[in-house]
Amino acid sequence: MGFQIAIDGPSASGKSSIAREVAKSFNFVHINSGLMYRAIAYKAIKEQVNLLCEEKLVELIEHTTLELTPDQRVIMDQNDVSEHLKTVSIEASTVSSFPLVRERLVHLQQEMAKSLDCVMDGRDIGTVVLPQADVKIFITADVEDRAHRRTNELKKMGIDADYENILDEMIQRDNQDINRPVGPLKQAEDALLIDTTGNTFEMSAKIVIDLIKERLGR
């Protein structure tokens, strides 16, 4: 069994960037589970599969191969779809609300993490995917702060982004992710809560890295 770190939190809390930094610092594999829900949502849209039909979504997953590369590219059915996933947000949240979709992707995530030193980020990693993880962290920040971060991130990528729209969508997505009955966004009882409101990315990453160093006894 490898050393496993679970990082959960709402969208744009900084969890994926922090997980990437952690992976770099400790030479661990980074598994961004949100990318997998995004990839399935992207394929469903492309193939005009009804995002509200659980049965069709499961069938689609069964005919899909998904791979995450060490540099965070997403290879789906042998194609690199990474560039298409940033804007498939609310749709990813919608497909992720179905128990059978989660069951398939959780299984895949557990297989990916098996016997690896890894850091996995998502919503249910500490509670469902890796309940036995060595370190569990729950990262949060005020929704306005997160919406500002996401707006700036998209603008930097040259994507047209309006703060008010992003804030509205983020509130909607938080609600969907928190209130779904299966695998909701939830802090595990044994997870450490880190609030990054007002922090720079460097500050937040350092807090998490120092904490893991302490746990690893380094």
- Of the pair 99, 210, the CB lying nearest ligand DC is at 99
Look up tokens 């939190």; give the residue.
9
- The reply on whether position 51 binds ligand DC by CB under 6 A is no
Query: What part of residues 148-177 is at the interface with ligand DC (CB under 6 A)?
Result: 173, 177
- Of the pair 190, 210, the CB lying nearest ligand DC is at 190
What count of other Cβ atoms lies within 10 Å of the Cβ of residue 185?
Answer: 23
Number of residues that bind ligand DC (CB under 6 A): 14
Comparing C-alpha atoms, which of 29, 41, 34 is closest to residue 10? 34
Least Å from the CB of residue 162 to ligand DC? 18
- Of the pair 185, 212, the CB lying nearest ligand DC is at 185
As a whole number of angstroms, the distance between CA 59 and CA 139 comes to 33
As a whole number of angstroms, the distance between CA 138 and CA 5 comes to 11
Q: Specify whether the CB–CB gap between 77 and 64 falls below 8 A.
A: yes
Considering only 4, 82, 93, 140, the residue that binds ligand DC (CB under 6 A) is 93
Query: What part of residues 106-145 is at the interface with ligand DC (CB under 6 A)?
Result: 122-125
As a whole number of angstroms, the distance between CA 13 and CA 94 comes to 19
Least Å from the CB of residue 214 to ligand DC? 25
CA 157, chain centre distance (Å)? 19
Residue 184 is encoded by which pair of tokens? 């909701």
Least Å from the CB of residue 218 to ligand DC? 28
Least Å from the CB of residue 122 to ligand DC? 2
As a whole number of angstroms, the distance between CA 139 and CA 137 comes to 6
From 49-57, 89-97, 144-152, 201-209, span contacting ligand DC (CB under 6 A): 89-97
As a whole number of angstroms, the distance between CA 18 and CA 121 comes to 9
- Of the pair 193, 216, the CB lying nearest ligand DC is at 193
As a whole number of angstroms, the distance between CA 169 and CA 175 comes to 10
Considering only 96, 140, 196, 204, the residue that binds ligand DC (CB under 6 A) is 96
Q: Which residues bind ligand DC (CB under 6 A)?
A: 11, 33-34, 37-38, 92-93, 96, 122-125, 173, 177
